[in-house]
Amino acid sequence: MMAFSQCIGIGLLLQAGRVIYLAGPGLATLAYVVAGTILWASAVSLGEMSALLPVNGPIILFPMRFLDRSLGFTAGWMTWFSWVVIVALELVAIAHLFQFHYPEDLLQQAGYPDPTLRFDPQVSPAVFVFSFWVIMVSVNLLPVRHLADLEFIFGFIKMAYLSLICAFNVALHAMRPPDKEAFWTWNSPYSGTSQNFTLHNGAVVEGDAGHFLGFWEAVTHALFGLVGFETIAIAAAENRDRERQETVKLATRKISIRIILLYALCTFTAGLNVPYTYPLLRNKEALSISYGQSSIFVIAPVLGRLTGWPLFFNHFMVFTATTAGTMAIYNASRTLHALASIQEVWPDSAGRFRRWLMATNNSKVPKHAVLICGAFGAIGFVAVDPGSTESLARMARACVIGMLITYGIVSASYIQFYKKLNLAATGQDDTIQANANLDVYKRDDDRYPFKSRWQPYTAYYSTVCCALIVFFNGWSTLVRPVDIGDFFGCYAAVRSPPMTTRT
């Protein structure tokens, strides 16, 4: 449930409209399914290794053991970097959600009962950033059991909320005006798929190429809302039931299915009520994240002329962003704590600092790691700048690509793990004693904790897809006029791995 709570943040609730604009409601739903399967494939691979070998810092240790030590360091630093960026992203998003202004001309065009729809307390965004920053860090200083209990409750609330969104949009579609037929957003003059793909310079790509490019960009954007599956493995070492075979197994399977299914259903049902050409969804920028009024879940009740609901959905996004940011600090601090236990990751002069990071309080919470990771929330003060949406989008893309690098490394680690396991099971591993019981290395044995499906093809699928998306995610930034800032946002994480290891 902690992984579920982490995934449900601004990624779905603010980005789903952008995904629908890029691909159309039909392909947008498929984009979330495809993106979900990519991360699911990596998550189950990591889950199987963690179930057999529950360790602190699995994302670091498994690549170190089965691939190369430097790749383990890379995966660890990429994971930590991505999670501290997400902390700042959630804080900036919270500040933006308190600046809700729905365009009055669109309200009038939709026939909305109220002439204005806004929520702006006229307080500096820095106040909101600081307040929620303190909340996120404070919750992470609680004993792990209390934090887990809170996140279980938050995860349940979020699951109920997404179910409400689905039911709400189905009911809203059923109450559509008589002049609108069923699936009106999928029919002419609209469509289930976007008719073309518009570049940031205004050039339009039509036909099959336009469909493909729109779908590709939609998958890339959808991935941001799905980051967090690895929380299961990160939390495995602190799980009091980690010796039970079913713990990681059930968590990996159930959470993955729930997230993919709910994301796809939310996108599909919201797409029934909002056409992909709606003005607030249109955005030709290569990288962008908008305010609450551009959320498709806010737009749907506005077009349905329902009062109260738009602000309810906007305000609930504050809750989801806060809890997602809290879990981001958890993941970042546990990753940093695991990195601190590996001397080779750090320069020789950082010995005292490394030991300081390893310290825990009486509740076994790595308090220093929590405070260091929480400190990066200060980046969230960029929300004071009205143009911070651009910076937010670039940070989000860098975060996604950093995590995809990690997922690819983890999946590649599983491939080597799978090969070594087969060698051990068939007695071809020279490091195993001759009289050892080889059945314990067989994945079909009843004592094997968790056997993920369709391996090793699942791991190959994740590795290849992650590599393709990483290297081609910023293709549109190279279209003239080239935007250096967007290009850097797309590929900064690609340049980082060589700098995360030492010789």
Backbone angles phi, psi at 266, to 5 degrees: -65, -45
Q: Which of the four pLDDT bands, split at 50, 70 and 90, describes residue 499? A: very low
Q: Which residues pair with 204 in a beta bridge?
A: 198
User: What pLDDT, on the 0 to 100 scale, is given for residue 390?
Assistant: 73
Contact 267, 44 (CB under 8 A): no
Q: Which of the four pLDDT bands, split at 50, 70 and 90, describes residue 340? A: confident
User: What pLDDT, on the 0 to 100 scale, is given for residue 503?
Assistant: 46
Q: Which residues pair with 129 in a beta bridge?
A: none
Whether residue 34 is predicted with pLDDT greater than 90 in this model: the reply is yes
User: What pLDDT, on the 0 to 100 scale, is given for residue 303?
Assistant: 92
Q: Which of the four pLDDT bands, split at 50, 70 and 90, describes residue 269? A: very high
For residues 219 and 188, the model is more confident at: 219
The pTM score is 0.87
- Mean pLDDT, range 84-111, rounded to an integer: 89
pLDDT tens digits for 144-159? 888 888 888 888 898 8
- Mean pLDDT, range 131-145, rounded to an integer: 91
User: What pLDDT, on the 0 to 100 scale, is given for residue 138?
Assistant: 93
SS3 label, residue 116: coil
User: What pLDDT, on the 0 to 100 scale, is given for residue 226?
Assistant: 82
Residue 61 makes CB contacts below 8 A (sequence gap 6+) with 55, 72, 338
d(CA 139, CA 128): 17
SS3 label, residue 99: coil
- Mean pLDDT, range 308-331, rounded to an integer: 91
d(CA 450, CA 245): 7
Token pair, residue 458, equals 């699942």
Q: Which of the four pLDDT bands, split at 50, 70 and 90, describes residue 458? A: very high
Q: Taking phi first (over 0 means left), then psi (-120 to 50 degrees means alpha), and beta for anything else, what does residue 122 get?
A: left
**């629908």: which residue's tokens?**
20
Instruction: Kindly calculate the radius of gyration of the chain based on its CA atoms and give it in whole angstroms.
Output: 23
Task: Give the range with max mean pLDDT: 49-53, 149-153, 281-285, 498-502.
Answer: 149-153
Beta pairing, strands 204-206 & 196-198: antiparallel
Whether residue 74 is predicted with pLDDT greater than 60 in this model: the reply is yes
Q: What is the mean pLDDT of the chain?
A: 83
User: What pLDDT, on the 0 to 100 scale, is given for residue 318?
Assistant: 92
Whether residue 283 is predicted with pLDDT greater than 80 in this model: the reply is no
User: What pLDDT, on the 0 to 100 scale, is given for residue 166?
Assistant: 94
Whether residue 325 is predicted with pLDDT greater than 70 in this model: the reply is yes
SS3 label, residue 28: helix
- Mean pLDDT, range 316-335, rounded to an integer: 90
Whether residue 245 is predicted with pLDDT greater than 70 in this model: the reply is no
Domains of the chain: 2-420+458-499 (1.20.1740.10)
Give the rounded percent of residues in the chain with a pLDDT score beyond 90: 23
Task: Give the range with max mean pLDDT: 87-101, 277-291, 336-350, 453-467.
Answer: 453-467
Backbone angles phi, psi at 84, to 5 degrees: -70, -30
For residues 5 and 391, the model is more confident at: 391
Least reliable range by pLDDT among 93-107, 177-191, 240-254: 240-254
H or E stretch covering 327? helix 309-340
Contact 490, 474 (CB under 8 A): yes
Residue 265 makes CB contacts below 8 A (sequence gap 6+) with 162, 166
Residue 127 makes CB contacts below 8 A (sequence gap 6+) with none
